[in-house]
Amino acid sequence: MSDKKTIKLVEDNYFTAQNWDLKIEQTTVALISWLVVILPFICLALPVWQPAIAAALPFNYQTDILSPLSFLANFFDEYFVFIAIFYLGLTFWNNYQFAATWTDHLVVDLQREHERANLVEDAWNQKFGSAEQRENCSYYCVEAEQNLETDFAQTLFKQGEQ
């Protein structure tokens, strides 16, 4: 096992400098999805915003529905914009904090990881032979007593910490 000098928690091609086709595709799908979610509300609130459009529609709006429609219109005019800006601001702040936290703090204890890697390599050498022998043989049959227990790694790490 080799030491890893860098630790990458999440890899997403959308956030790399390349892959413009992927960015365009995923952004387009997201925008269309949001349009599908918001469009029915806009269609319901449109007669409140533009009464002339309501007269041209093939069906008549009942007066009872105008109160909820005016609420939706007010919501989309004022509150939705505020909520969206606030949500986006919190999202960007959270992403900034998350990135700063993971770049400033060590995620993995490298010494402990190295010790555990050595324990696993030694255990594999005892059970199945040296790494060179395992890599060079073309056929190897595992005996029943060589099978790994279900808690093999946990037991090994507990023994190594003692």
Q: What is the pLDDT of residue 27?
A: 92
From the first residue on, what is the mean pLDDT of each consecutive set of 10 residues in the chain (162 residues)? 51 77 91 90 75 74 70 78 90 85 68 87 83 80 76 83 74
3-state secondary structure 32-96: HHHHHHHHHHHHHHHHHHCHHHHHHCCCCCCHHHHHHHHHHHHHHHHHHHHHHHHHHHHHHHHHH
Q: What is the pLDDT of residue 1?
A: 45
pTM of the model: 0.35
CA 38 to chain centre: 24
Q: What is the pLDDT of residue 30?
A: 92
Q: What is the pLDDT of residue 105?
A: 61
